Structure formats: C-alpha cells, structure tokens
Amino acid sequence: MKNNIVLIGFMGCGKTTFGKWISRHYPYKFVDTDDCIVRAQKRTINDIFKMNGEDYFRNLETETVKELLKQEDGKVISVGGGLPVKEENRALLRELGTVVYLNTSKRELVRRLRNDKNRPLLAGGDIEKKVDTLMEQRRLIYEETAHLILSTDEKNFTEMYEEIVSYGENL
C-alpha cells in the first residue's frame, strides 16, 4: 500500500474541506479526483455527464486513480463520492493508501447539499429522497472499501487526523 490518505464518502461529507485542512497542517499534498478530471477534460462535471453520461465519467475516474497510483506518495486524496461504486476501483483505492470513510449523518448531508448546483446526480427532485436512495446503495460499499471509518458529526479535524495517524502506527 502506498503512503497516501484516501478520503471517501458521500457528496457533502467534507472530503475536500478535511483534505485541504490536512494539507495545510501536515506534509501531504492535496489532490481531488474531480479536479483532476475537470482539468484534463477542460469542462465541468455537469458537462461531462450531460454530453457523455455517467459511465463515461466513471471510466475517467478509474483512469485518474490508475494515474495517481503511478505518482509519488505523500498525498491526501479526496475521491468523488461515486468512485468506489465501481468494483474495479475499490481494490485500486486500497492500493493507493489508507482509505478513510467520512461518515456524515443524512440530516447534515441534506443541509449541505440542498442548494447544490454542481452535482448532476442531485439535480431536480426531492433532495432527501435522492440522498436516501444513493446512501442505501452506497453505505455498505463505503464501509467495505475503507480501512478506517470516521464519524464527522462527532469529531473535529484534529481528532479525525489523529485517528488516521494512530491507525497507520498500528499497522
């Protein structure tokens, strides 16, 4: 396994915010798989979904993880919420580093995502139902992919980071 921190979890669980916080306080470089794709494709995620569909986007995600596997360690990687859904990606993520699932309550997710305009899978319809349905499909996948599960509702960033470090020390 490589020496990266790999953050997975539902849209809005705080992967990007926590990942950037880690990179400000500790010697990890922040990388976001969505940013990698947007930069390479020179278009937004909404446009990729609209023009080429979800399957195409999922393949771009796999390519991104394979690319990161070739790169040097020392990164904290925020992973798009749907990336672990593709089975092939789950093993790749666990090779990429310590996979940490940020588990956030549905109530908090809905609060954060209610007015979101950048996530195609949440567009239109009842946000609570959408979060419910996707979470039902994904909860087990996140739990099984992760080396470590952190509850973001109960812990602050310092405590969360310390748990990741102590997981690494006990390997």
C-alpha to C-alpha distance for 61 and 37, rounded to whole angstroms: 7
The least CB distance from residue 171 to ligand S3P, in Å, is 27
Tokens of 97: 């580093």
C-alpha to C-alpha distance for 70 and 14, rounded to whole angstroms: 26
Q: Which residue is nearest to ligand S3P (CB)?
A: 82
The least CB distance from residue 22 to ligand S3P, in Å, is 16
Residue among 27 and 124 whose Cβ is closer to ligand S3P? 124
The least CB distance from residue 65 to ligand S3P, in Å, is 12
Residue among 122 and 168 whose Cβ is closer to ligand S3P? 122
Residue among 8 and 160 whose Cβ is closer to ligand S3P? 8
The DSSP secondary structure of 37-87, one letter per residue, reads: HHHHHTS-HHHHHHHHHHHHHHHHHHHHHHHHHHS-S-EEEE--TTGGGSH
Residue among 120 and 168 whose Cβ is closer to ligand S3P? 120
Q: Which residues bind ligand S3P (CB under 6 A)?
A: 11, 15, 34, 45, 80-82, 119-121
Closest CA to 76 of 119, 148, 17, 118: 17
The least CB distance from residue 48 to ligand S3P, in Å, is 9
